[in-house]
Structure formats: structure tokens, C-alpha cells
A and B are shown apart, each in its own frame.
Chain A
């Protein structure tokens, strides 16, 4: 994934009065990436996006998009960008079709091309049957889809999506995620913000983990997981586990934590192999009967937990 740099953010500082929303934030997004900005509520994801888009004035730092500084009259750069804001941004007074046509029309002047683009966008988000509907008549999920259609109809090269799946049912969410992958496959660079680690893990080629306005870690899914101690976590269902055994378990190779709670033995491993086999052998040797066994690979939540000491979602 060594492409051209599409977005470059250096030492960005943004204050809202006393509150420092972004604290020397750095970021680089390359062409063709699906870049994830992952962070809990209030970590500064939207602020980052809005600064990049020139919607907010910032206090310090440097931002370049397609190699140029963003200004209100950077029309060439703006023409290549599509934005799906966090809140639904459509006209209540225009129908689904008119909304998409209006916003697409701010980018695409040719009537025939626009007509085709609008059709494609509506099909893309699955709103063809709702063309004549007014936004008020749409369910929350459909409204989110309209919000997406308005942002991407003009086939932008760079697309910002700010938590597009909030308050969307799993089915719609999957459709949206698939759509984003499809846009990427068609050549668009994507910046995707979310506080759902599963989504980010699923679609993003590179991820930045944010908290408190800082970029805490950046890398691919694997890279991030390799940064941390946790390799895998093995859980074993055991009805009656002698607490005394816990110390011996902790002494096994690669184990860095082990605990027994609610009939489950939970063993955390750093990297290393054959951990599961070794644990099960141990249990058999000591005649400990066990039920189901689960092995979990580390999640981005573990990454976040380890870096910040708190859960991503609390």
C-alpha cells in the first residue's frame, strides 16, 4: 500500500476555549487506503475531520490535502472530496432524489452525467424505492443511507465518513460497510471514523487510535496488535477450580495473567505458540475436568486497553 500521500496532518492543535480537543495530532493517509480513526466519544475524531475539511479554524499545525493547503476557495481539492458527516445533513423540504441531485449538482454540472451518478448513488445505498420520499418519512437507518448517498454521489477520490453506522441495525450496517469496501475497490481513498472497533478491524487497512485529542498508535490491524503484550486469551469452563492451582498456571510459559471467575479460567498469553495444548495438558495431568474451551485473539479493545488503561467502550 505505498501510494501517494493524500492527507498530511502535522502537529495539529485545536482548542475550544480551555478544552484542548486536538493536541499535536499527526496523521498521514496514503492513496488507496481505508484509514480508520478509532477512538471513544469525545476523543476528537470529528474535530480532526472538520479541521482537515477546512470547516474549523485551528490553533496550530499544518494540513495538506492532495498536496495543497485547504482554503475556502480550494475548489479543485474540494471537488475531489466527498463528505458524510456524523449528523444527517439533508434538506427536510426536498425529496430523497432531490437531495442527492442537489448535492451532487454542487460538484457535477453536466445533466446526463449527474442523472446517472444520482441513480447509481441511490442504487448503491438501496434507496431506489424511496426516491419520492421526504426525509421525515424515512427510518433512521434509511436516513443514514441517504446521508451517505449525498456525500458520495459525485464519485469523489477521497471520502470522509464520520461514524456512518451509528444507530443503524446490523443488516444496514453490513450493507454500509460492504459499500465502503466497494468504493475503495473502485479507487477511492477512505477516511473512516468510528468507535466500533469491530467495524474498523473489518474494513480498515490502517488504523489510528485516538484518545484525548492525541494519536496514540497508528498501524495496520496486525501491527497494532503486535504492539501489545497480549497474544491470545484462552478461556476454559471449569466447574470447580482449586485456587491453589492458579499460581502454577501463571508459571506456565508465556502466561502473563491468569484468573478464575464465575466458573471460567481465563489465561492471558503474550505471544508464543502451543499455548492451548500446553494448558490442556496441564489440566489433564492434574485431573481437572473442564467443559468448553475458547481461544480469543487480541482485539483493538485490548490494544486500547493496554495503551490507555481503559476500555474503548465503557
Chain B
């Protein structure tokens, strides 16, 4: 019984050509266009492996000297930074505004960074400065012993900063347009909501005629809900895998090699999308087309804030409304995958996956409660 119901449900969902187009084909087409558009830009940007930074050090104290030594090490042949030393603050601002440098580094009480916007390079720069500040004491100690000792200490510090396990890739390895593709993955997973909606439509007797047929049958509602849900999840997860394979194998986009984490993150993301559809499907009292419109517009808006249309959007949100990025499923999905690409440390990833899962549980619980109450 279980297998048959699951099988038929699977066929029911897969044979819905319109839905399948939006679910599976549309993201692939979009991904392809992103790729075509960006690859021409990326070629020009290929040489920009190093992060340009404007350094403004005014006084000549020990701390400045120590920092200078570290930066020089970073500026060396295989370093991550490209140090620019503008003549004055105006010139630095000008460079920053034009985007010729990623940030301005100054030293007053402590080292501080100024950015015009947020992005991958900015994140990396912040990370490096934090690393430096942690090791600053060692350098200061060395500064007292003389230039040679300091040189060695700066080199050591530089190496720990670079080799630190948290930082698995250097800028340039990461596709600068990766954020679009992460948002695209988010969109794809969230579109799973339409499958959830379809399922609720065909289980509530006042929503569709097939639900009437199923409602008068002596089959337990719980069994129908379960098999419907599993079928929806199967379809959605397959769609996610299809997109992932397309992006990595065909378009050659790099998502890191933490496959288990990617598979788990995708599963949780799909779950979140489907559960959201279930909730809208049973809570909203409106025609199917209205519910469908609600789902599409919500999904796309959330994806917009997660950078699907404008890549900087997510960073802008992070600056102004960071809490929103912590609850927006699209941002969470995108962060979950992008954190895998940048940090070996899984805390960010784990945070995203946990919140996504918690949301899915909440959506699902709301849907289940309302469905149970319907009593017909």
C-alpha cells in the first residue's frame, strides 16, 4: 500500500509538466545564462587574484612598524594582498570609491578597515586583520629585538594566517559570481514550496475534486500525507541534485569538495521549501491561484534579498538588517553553501542548517496542526 501510494504520487508530481519546468528546467536555464553573462566578465578579472588594499599608516611607532612588516610579507610574490599607498586620505577615498581597492586600512588605537561595500574580498581582508591582531603581541615583542627578529616573526605570523585551516582557499579560487549561483540553489530549493502546495490541495476536500475522492476512501489520512510528502521530497531533492550536477560538472562552478555537507544542506533546504508550501497551503484561506502567487512572490523576494538578482544585496542586508539574513531561508541556504566554499570550520554551516531545519519543523508543525483540525 505504502509503496504503491508513494509510487503513484511520484508519478503524479513528475508528470505535471508545467510544474516540473519551473522546478527543474527554469533554474538550469537561469544558471546557464548567469554563466554565459559572467564568464566573459570573469576572464577580465582573472588576474585580480590578490586583494588590493590602501594602507594609510601615519605615525612611526612600534605597532606601525610591526604591522608594516606583516603587510610587506602579505604583499610579497605569493601573498594575498596588493598594497597601495596613497598620498593622502582623499586619494585613498577616491580609490575606494572607484573600486580600485577593496578597503582602506588605517591604524589609530587599533587597526581598522573601511569598505565601500561588502563582499568576499572584504570578508577575507577582515579575517586577515583579525588574525594579525591576535598575533600582534608577538610582533611587538620581536620589534624590540631588532629588524631581523621582526622579519622572522612577521613571516611566521603570515604563514599561520595563511595556512590556518579555517581559510581553505584564496580569493580567485572562488568564483567571484558564486553568490549568484548560491542564490540560484536557494531559489531552486525554495520552489519546492509549490510541491508542498500541490500536496495540500489534493488532501483537503474543499480544495480539489481528487481530494474528495481520497477523502471518502478508507485510507488513513496520515498515510496519504506521509506518502505525498515523501514523493514531493524525492522530486525536489532530485531537482536540487540535478542543478548541482549541472552547475559543477557542466558549468564547472566550484562549490568546494565537502560533498556530504552539500548533500545534507540541500536536503534540509528542500525540506524547508516544501514545508513552507504546506503551511501556505493549509493556513491561507484563498483560491489555489492566490496561494500559488503568494508562494512565488515570497520565494522570489526572499531570493532577491539573498542576492539572486543583485549580488551585493545579501551584504547590504547583512550590514543593515543582519537578523533578516539569519531567518531568510534563501539567505540561509546561500550562506550554508557559500560557507562551505570559504571556511573549513563548519560552525557557520551548522548554524545555517540548524535554523533552516528549525524553520522547516515550525512550518510543518503549523501545517500538521491545521490539517488535523480540519476533521473532514
A residues whose Cβ falls under 8 Å from a Cβ of B: 53-57, 72-73, 75-76, 78-79, 81, 83, 85, 87-94, 98, 102-103, 105-107, 109, 150-151
* Given A55-B376, A72-B375, CB of A87 within 8 Å of CB of B209: yes
Interface flags, B143-170, vs A, CB<8A=1, else 0: 0000000000000000000000000000
Name 16 A/B residue pairs within 8 A (Cβ), A-sorted. Answer: A55-B212, A55-B216, A55-B376, A56-B376, A72-B376, A83-B213, A89-B212, A91-B12, A92-B16, A93-B14, A93-B16, A94-B8, A106-B217, A107-B217, A109-B1, A151-B213
Within B182-224, the residues touching A (CB, 8 Å) are 205, 208-210, 212-221
The 6 closest A-B pairs by CB, nearest first: A89-B209, A93-B15, A106-B217, A78-B218, A75-B218, A79-B218
B229 vs chain A, min Cβ distance (A): 17
A15 vs chain B, min Cβ distance (A): 15
Give A93 to B231 CA distance when docked, in angstroms.
Answer: 14
A201 vs chain B, min Cβ distance (A): 28
Residue of B nearest to A82 (CB): B216
- Of A72, A78, A91, which one neighbours B210 at CB under 8 angstroms? A91
- Of A73, A87, A94, which one neighbours B12 at CB under 8 angstroms? A94
* Given A72-B221, A93-B15, A106-B219, CB of A150 within 8 Å of CB of B213: yes
Q: Is the CB of B218 within 8 A of A76?
A: yes
Residue of A nearest to B202 (CB): A91
Within B248-285, the residues touching A (CB, 8 Å) are none
Q: Is the CB of A78 within 8 A of B216?
A: yes
B11 sits at the interface (CB 8 A) = yes
Q: Residues of B contacting A81 with CB < 8 Å? A: 216
A27 vs chain B, min Cβ distance (A): 18
Q: Residues of A contacting B44 with CB < 8 Å? A: none
Q: Residues of A contacting B5 with CB < 8 Å? A: 105
Give A313 to B27 CA distance when docked, in angstroms.
Answer: 54
Please report the number of residue pairs spanning A and B whose Cβ atoms sit closer than 8 angstroms. Answer: 71
Q: Residues of B contacting A83 with CB < 8 Å? A: 212-213, 216
Q: Residues of A contacting B287 with CB < 8 Å? A: none
* Given A78-B216, A94-B12, CB of A89 within 8 Å of CB of B4: no
- Of A73, A85, A93, which one neighbours B212 at CB under 8 angstroms? A85
- Of B8, B14, B16, B216, which one neighbours A102 at CB under 8 angstroms? B8
Chain B interface residue number, banded: 20 to 34
Residue of A nearest to B15 (CB): A93
Q: Is the CB of A106 within 8 A of B214?
A: yes
Q: Residues of B contacting A93 with CB < 8 Å? A: 11-16
Give A72 to B375 CA distance when docked, in angstroms.
Answer: 6
Q: Residues of B contacting A109 with CB < 8 Å? A: 1
Q: Is the CB of B210 within 8 A of A90?
A: yes
B172 vs chain A, min Cβ distance (A): 47
Give A55 to B204 CA distance when docked, in angstroms.
Answer: 10
Q: Residues of B contacting A54 with CB < 8 Å? A: 215-216, 376
B298 vs chain A, min Cβ distance (A): 26
A39 vs chain B, min Cβ distance (A): 21
Give A193 to B12 CA distance when docked, in angstroms.
Answer: 31
A266 vs chain B, min Cβ distance (A): 45
B159 vs chain A, min Cβ distance (A): 60
Give A303 to B175 CA distance when docked, in angstroms.
Answer: 81
B86 vs chain A, min Cβ distance (A): 65
Q: Residues of B contacting A56 with CB < 8 Å? A: 376
A167 vs chain B, min Cβ distance (A): 15
Residue of A nearest to B8 (CB): A102
Give A156 to B375 CA distance when docked, in angstroms.
Answer: 24
Give A92 to B13 CA distance when docked, in angstroms.
Answer: 10
Give A197 to B15 CA distance when docked, in angstroms.
Answer: 41
Q: Is the CB of B213 within 8 A of A85?
A: yes
Give A85 to B376 CA distance when docked, in angstroms.
Answer: 16
Residue of B nearest to A56 (CB): B376
Q: Is the CB of A85 within 8 A of B11?
A: no
Interface centre among A57, A78, A85, A93 (most CB of B within 10 A): A93
Interface flags, B1-34, vs A, CB<8A=1, else 0: 1001100100111111000000000000000000
Q: Is the CB of B217 within 8 A of A103?
A: yes
Interface centre among B4, B16, B210 (most CB of A within 10 A): B210
Residue of A nearest to B375 (CB): A72
* Given A55-B376, A94-B8, A105-B4, CB of A89 within 8 Å of CB of B213: yes
A297 vs chain B, min Cβ distance (A): 38
Give A22 to B88 CA distance when docked, in angstroms.
Answer: 87
Give A22 to B173 CA distance when docked, in angstroms.
Answer: 72
Q: Is the CB of B209 within 8 A of A105?
A: no
* Given A57-B376, A94-B12, CB of A85 within 8 Å of CB of B209: yes
Give A109 to B223 CA distance when docked, in angstroms.
Answer: 14
Q: Is the CB of A107 within 8 A of B218?
A: yes
Q: Residues of B contacting A98 with CB < 8 Å? A: 8, 11
- Of A73, A88, A94, which one neighbours B209 at CB under 8 angstroms? A88
Q: Residues of B contacting A102 with CB < 8 Å? A: 4, 8
Q: Residues of B contacting A92 with CB < 8 Å? A: 16
